[in-house]
A and B are shown apart, each in its own frame.
Chain A
């Protein structure tokens, strides 16, 4: 059962990586990154059980935290990067 779960998660991770590479917009990439992080958390916890030493869930915990922090960080920084691009690209209409 655990093995099956591991394999499933690996497959999903692979799909997320594909999306991250193909992703047309920045946000697709961030989304894939977020998903990948969650899947890593799951993978680590399952691996802990598989290896018979489930004390190592600390790592999964750290992953969850770091994942959140980096997603937020990317969003914050991407704002300004997007500005630069849009200034040149389109002056169509600003919201509101």
Chain B
């Protein structure tokens, strides 16, 4: 049964989408969005690994014996918050880039860089 692996395929698909956006789009904010998708794919990967059939959420309760693996949850929980913090940092950088270059398209920035280099 190869179909039992479908969760990984979903993850890979998401990852490909995110990766594609990061590579192919020139807009820096778009790139950040792509990064976020990429990130989420990794999150889903971890969480789906931690899932157990017939298991329930890892909060101890009466009458339940099978729980999902709590370890990936912990890792991802912190990773999400760290992810937003780093995304915010990236956005801040983008804003500064916009202020100094007047554009957030990759090519235009490169052209401007070229021009300044040529001048000097």
A residues near B, CB below 8 A?
Answer: 51-53, 55-56
Contact = CB atoms under 8 A, between A and B. Distances in A.
Contacts of A52: 56
Contacts, number: 7
Interface of B: 56-57, 59, 61
A50 to B, nearest CB: 12
A53 B56 CA distance: 9
A28 to B, nearest CB: 20
B84 to A, nearest CB: 13
7 contacts: A51-B56, A52-B56, A53-B56, A53-B57, A53-B61, A55-B59, A56-B57
A74 B84 CA distance: 18
A54 to B, nearest CB: 12
Nearest to B64: A53
A1 B59 CA distance: 27
A49 B57 CA distance: 13
A4 B90 CA distance: 43
Nearest to B56: A53
A53 B58 CA distance: 12
Nearest to B63: A52
A48 to B, nearest CB: 10
B113 to A, nearest CB: 27
A52 B61 CA distance: 12
Contacts of B56: 51-53
Nearest to A56: B57
A64 to B, nearest CB: 20
B94 to A, nearest CB: 16
Contacts of A55: 59
